[in-house]
Amino acid sequence: MNQPLQNLEQLLDRIGGLARNNDQVSIGMVVESIGSRSFGPLLMLIGITLFSPLSGVPGMTIFMASFVLLIAVQMLMGRKQFWLPHYILDRSVGRGKLQKALDWLSKPAQGIDRVLKPRLTFLVNNGGDYGIAALCVVVGLCMPFMELVPFSSSAAGLALLTLGLALVVHDGLLVLLALAIFGATFTLVIVNIQ
């Protein structure tokens, strides 16, 4: 059984190991490697996907929105093991594209991991994680509209990545940062759609 992830570099290393050993890496393979009960790492995975060059794939925002909603709703229901349909688990990306995205993210991940630490833990523990799940439902419902505004899905990805990191390292300050990022993104989308 894999050890729980403690930071962003560990998540990238684990996914990188899959890329080194497989020509195609499916979401199911990644979920299995990080643990299907790990809400934080799954959010980090979604955030990384949306924040990376992979977000340029047509329909990726809507696909990831369904992934966010499925996981967040199950967390709100108190499920211990996340269920995901095969159409999500079977989606895959080639080794080259995945490795390019991981290389692109490695330097920022090292810098981010240096400043993370447990603080304001009441925002991520003892019910705080349900608030994060509720926020993720709102983000997931707004994401289809982000297809209409360039780069807004990348900003939502950054917010989701930040929320996932907050859950992994118990850093409530990151929850506040994610709220600010999502608030700015939501405002940008509303202004540009009107």
Each residue of 151-189: pLDDT tens digit? 777 888 888 988 988 888 888 999 999 999 989 888 887
Question: Would you state the pLDDT for residue 173?
Answer: 92
Predicted local confidence at residue 179, as pLDDT: 92
- Mind spelling out the 3-state secondary structure of 12-81? HHHHHHHHHHCCEEEHHHHHHHHCCCCHHHHHHHHHHHHHCHHHHCCCHHHHHHHHHHHHHHHHHCCCCC
Q: Where exactly are the structural domains of the chain?
A: 8-193
Q: 3-state class of 94 per DSSP?
A: strand
The number of residues in the chain equals 194
Q: Give this prediction's pTM.
A: 0.74
